[in-house]
Structure 1
Amino acid sequence: MKNTIEQTLQNSFSYSDYRKTITELIEQGKSTGHEQSEDLLNYSKLNESRLNRLEKTIAVTEEVKSDLEKLDKKYIWLVLAEGWCGDAAQIVPVIYKMSEVAENVTLKIALRDDNDALMQHFLTNGGKAIPKLLILDAATLEVLADWGPRPQGAKQLILDYKAAHGVVDETAKIELQKWYLHDKGVAIQNEIMAMHKKVLA
């Protein structure tokens, strides 16, 4: 596992380089990932607008900011994501904002399809659901905890919708985006910090 993590870190991006990579690919008419389609390209374009908006509007809560500033050990937050993924577009900017206020956290983002060996260790119900955040001890690269692909409220919304309608369709995706919009990244921050506190306990 340590070798796989080292390899993934070598393939990873800073947040600004991740954003730049997505933009450059869109300009070439492509999305990130090994699969290419008109739909994935359109999702990438839509997500780029979301990323631009969220970077301006998401704020780290005072409580979470205080907890992040108290971290006295160095961590790497390694996120597996893709530019076309709607959940990643909503979640990664929140994780980025959190890492910005935490002096002892270094954020790295790796593309899921380019790092399948690591993704295979963190499947959700057998699937490669993203984004996936791994909290690593910066010194040993041990995985201390993992989180994702969605906060609990968003996960429940999709489970309830699927139970009622049998599918996850465009309407479900719109409802999910509304949930994220209303939550303003607070649930994501609280869940990640709660997990971090367990690591420290």
Structure 2
Amino acid sequence: MTTLNEWFGKGIPAEEFISSMKVHKESLQSIQEHFSISVEDGDFFDELKAKELRAIVITEDWCGDAMMNIPILLNIAEAANIETRMILRDENLDLMDQYLTNGTARSIPIFIFIDKHGEERAVWGPRAPKVQDYVMELRSVLPAKEDERFEAEQKEVFKKITKAFSEDGSLWSEVYGSIKETLGKID
């Protein structure tokens, strides 16, 4: 079985992944540029630096959640000196299947934080809890899947979600807080 250190080694550097993106590239870059880490969190990030973490990100460029979550992670990674590598989900199901959401779903992105020895220290993803609530609320108005209106209405909901993920700073703050909370539990 492939170790997390080996997965990290196979990963694509974040800049390379972003430059190769075909979908959501501009939105991801815009979020990365417009989201900023709180100056008050300097001590938190100094403590994180001492833990010498690295991150493996299971992702795909078409994923709206990845579009929003990855640039926030990259800002955190820059502040905490966390080297980050991307693994494409669809080409690496053997890794993805170790990190299923609710034991069944190949939901992304998944952030796997490892130490310098390659030991898993924390896992985050695919969504911050309040972002999940927001998405579920929007989806709650959809008709049943068998309904002829389902597909068209689902497309509209996805458009709303993607727009919110691209522009809503309060959602970005939820992601930031959730990732920070996960990282704060690492001893």
Is the shorter-chain TM-score for this pair beyond 0.5, marking a shared fold?
Answer: yes
| Residue in structure 2 matched with residue 150 of structure 1 by the alignment | 127
Q: Is 1:94–2:72 an aligned residue pair? A: yes
- The 1-side partners of 2:70 and 2:14 are apart by 9
Give the Cα separation in 1 of the matches to 2:54 and 2:20.
Answer: 21
2 CA distance for matches of 1:178 and 1:18?
A: 22
> What is the deviation of 1:63?
3.5
Deviation at 1:131, TM superposition (A): 0.5
Separation in structure 1 between the aligned mates of residue 53 and residue 182 of structure 2, nearest angstrom: 13
2:61 aligned residue (72, 79, 83): 83
User: For residues 144-195 of structure 1, what are the alpha-carbon distances to aligned partners after superposition, in whole Å with 9 as ceiling and x for unaligned?
Assistant: 2211111112211222233332468122223323443222621111111111
Partner of 2:174: 187
Other-structure match for 2:88: 111
1:96-116 per-position Cα deviation (integer Å, ceiling 9, x unaligned): 11111113x211111112221
Q: Cα distance, 1:19 vs. partner?
A: 1.3
Report what 1:7 is aligned to. 6
Q: Is 2:186 the counterpart of 1:199?
A: yes
Distance 1:122 1:64 in 2: 29
Q: Is the 8 A contact 2:14 2:85 kept in 1?
A: yes
Code of the residue aligned with 1:15 in structure 2: it is: A
Q: 1:5 to 1:114 in 2, by over 3 A?
A: farther
- Residues 1:171 and 1:61: Cα distance change in structure 2 (over 3 Å): farther
- TM-score, normalised to structure 1, is 0.78
Residue 173 (structure 1) aligns with: 158
Please tell me the residue identity of whatever aligns with 1:102: A
Which segments of 5 or more consecutive residues in structure 1 lack a partner in the other structure?
27-43
Q: Please show how residues 29-68 of structure 1 align to structure 2 within 5 Å.
A: 44=23, 47-68=24-45
Percent of matched pairs sharing the same residue = 21
